[in-house]
Chain A
Amino acid sequence: MELNEMQLDGLREIANIGSGTAATALSSMLGRAVDLNVPKALALELADAVDAVGTPDADVTAVVLGVMGDLDATVVLLFDPTSAETICSLLGVDPADPEMALSALGEVGNILGSSYIGAMGQMAGLELEPSPPAAVSDMLGAIVATALAATAVDTDFALLLDSEMLVEDAECAFGVLFVPSSEGVGRLLTGLGLAEAA
Chain B
Amino acid sequence: MAELMARMAEIAVSRHEADVLVALGLGSCIGIALLDRASLVAGLAHVVLPESRPGGTTPGKFADTAVPELVRRVSGLGGSASGLHAVLVGGAQMFSAGAALDIGRRNELAVKAALATAGIPVTTTLTGGNAGRTMRVHIGTGLVTCKQAGSREQTIAVRDAGRLRAAA
Contact = CB atoms under 8 A, between A and B. Distances in A.
User: Which residue among B48, B96, B132 has the maximum number of chain A CB atoms within 10 Å of its CB?
Assistant: B132
A66 B98 contact: yes
A162 B26 CA distance: 21
Contact of B57 (A50, A134, A140, A156): A156
B10 interface: yes
B98 A138 contact: no
B27 A72 contact: no
Contacts of A72: 99
Contacts of B25: 50, 56-57, 139-145
Contacts of A49: 8
Interface in B1-35: 7-10, 24-29
Chain A's interface size range is: 35 or more
A156 B58 contact: yes
A66 B57 CA distance: 28
Interface residues of B, number: 35
Interface string B31-52: 0000000000000000011000
A153 interface: yes
Nearest to A46: B8
Interface string A8-42: 00000000000000000000000000000000000
B27 A141 contact: yes
Interface string A48-74: 111100001101000011100000101
A56 B103 contact: no
Contacts of B98: 64-66, 74, 131, 134, 147, 150
B126 to A, nearest CB: 14
9 contacts: A46-B61, A57-B134, A74-B100, A142-B26, A145-B26, A146-B92, A148-B48, A152-B61, A153-B53
